[in-house]
Amino acid sequence: MRAWFRGFAVLAAVWSLVGAATAQTAPREPARPFVFTGIPDQDESRLVERFGRVAAYLEGKLGVPVRYIPVKNYPAAVTAFTNGQVQLAWFGGFTGVQARKAVPGSQAIAQGAEDAAFKTYFIANAATGLARAADFPKVIAGKTFTFGSRASTSGRLMPEHFIRQAFPGKTPEEVFARVGFSGDHSRTIQLVQSGAFEVGAVDYTVWDLDTKAGKVDPKTVSVIWESPAYPDYQWTVRGDLDAVYGTGFTERLKAALVGITDPAILEPFGRSKFIPVTSEAYVPLIEVGRSTGLLD
């Protein structure tokens, strides 16, 4: 028992050390690394691959150390941006809107060429007998339905918007027998494929990438509807970049992103190239966010 008390005393001493050690988590160095993150919208090995390459590329172009921090859910990505831990983020349309609302002065600077007109696929298990149609498939009412992550644009916000349009005055919970949130697009495909959910909403680029990777069994799951186009993913930066890294840094960053031509970087994104964009391009999403009640 005495050993226990001694241990306790040492432990107490160590706690104070922890306090001291963790208190200085914000070291002030001259060459502050430029840190970025991205929303974890799909298979993580693909995220590490794509963002690792972006980090190496940006470091070469910008002349400052560039680090990527992986996060595991959407609000964590937005939080890392709002509290200033990251200066740049690859956001979805909706998370970008959330982040720019929370951080005055931040702005969207570039998007993928495909993001100007992004799409959601509604996918269904073969057992439902649903076939592909051009019009919104109202027959999905009463089925079980899974979104992706709660804060996903292509997996939640826009599909919810289209569902509310097709069934005026009803929430998805009222339209479907059950509504789940799979967490990410790859998971949505898995769950609909196994039949755990009958219908799901998925990012079309992830569907294409997973199909190409052989993870999709066309006999058990297929696309039943393609949504109208809307703006989605973009690179968003904080407004204080130039003050920290020198005048013109934001412009150089934008030029570097738009200048990516290496297919080794673009291919894991499922994008052909990046193009300049402004925050105004995402104003329609703010409207949709308000009308679905996801945004104040």
Partner 1 sequence: MRSRGLTPAAGYAAVSRWIAALGLAALLAADLHVTSLHPWADLQRLLGGLVRPDFLAVEAASILYTVAFAVLGVGLGAGAGFLLAIPFARFRSVRIACALLRAVHELFWALLLMQVFGLSATTGILAIALPYAGICAKVYAEIIEEADLAALRALPAGTGTVSAFAYARLPEVAGAIRAYTFYRLECGLRSTLVLGFIGLPTMGFYLESAFRQGRYGEAGAWLLAFYALIGTRRLWVRGWTLPLLAAGSVLVLPATVGAVEIGASLARFLGHDIVPAPLRGAALLAPESWPATGAALWAWFRPILTGQILPGAVQTLVLAQIALVATAVGALLLFPLTSRRFTGPLGRPLGRVLLVTLRSTPEYMLAYVALQLLGPSMLPAILALSIHNAGIIGYLLGRHADGLSYRPDAPRGLNLYAYETVPRLYGQFLAYLLYRWEIILRESAIFGILGVATLGFYVDAAIAELRLDVAAVLILATALLAIAVDALSRALRRSLRIADLPVRLAGPHARPAPEPLTA
Task: Check residue 21 for interaction with partner 1 (CB under 8 A).
Answer: yes
Helix 44-62, helix 249-258: angle, nearest 10: 130
Least distance from partner 1 to the Cβ atom of residue 38, Å: 11
SS3 89: strand
- Residue with Cβ nearer partner 1 (190 or 234): 190
Out of 15, 60, 218, 229, which residue is the one contacting partner 1 (CB under 8 A)?
15
- The H-assigned helical ranges of 103-217 are 158-166, 172-175, 185-194, 204-212
Least distance from partner 1 to the Cβ atom of residue 5, Å: 7
Task: Check residue 213 for interaction with partner 1 (CB under 8 A).
Answer: no
Q: Please, which of residues 166-185 interact with partner 1 by CB under 8 A?
A: 173, 178-184
Round to whole Å and give the CA distance between 108 and 102: 14
Task: Check residue 80 for interaction with partner 1 (CB under 8 A).
Answer: yes
Pairing between strand 66-68 and 34-38? parallel
Task: Check residue 150 for interaction with partner 1 (CB under 8 A).
Answer: yes
Least distance from partner 1 to the Cβ atom of residue 64, Å: 12
Round to whole Å and give the CA distance between 248 and 63: 13
Least distance from partner 1 to the Cβ atom of residue 170, Å: 15
- Residue with Cβ nearer partner 1 (11 or 134): 11
Round to whole Å and give the CA distance between 21 and 2: 29
Out of 83, 247, 272, 278, which residue is the one contacting partner 1 (CB under 8 A)?
83
Q: Using only C-alpha atoms, what is the Rg of the chain?
A: 22
Q: Please, which of residues 49-78 interact with partner 1 by CB under 8 A?
A: 67, 69-76, 78
Q: Please, which of residues 227-286 interact with partner 1 by CB under 8 A?
A: none
Structure token pair of residue 126: 């073969």
Task: Check residue 217 for interaction with partner 1 (CB under 8 A).
Answer: yes
**Beta-bridge mates of residue 118:** 230
Q: Running DSSP on this structure, what letter comes out for residue 291?
A: H
Q: Residue 114 is which amino acid? A: E
Task: Check residue 27 for interaction with partner 1 (CB under 8 A).
Answer: yes
Task: Check residue 22 for interaction with partner 1 (CB under 8 A).
Answer: yes
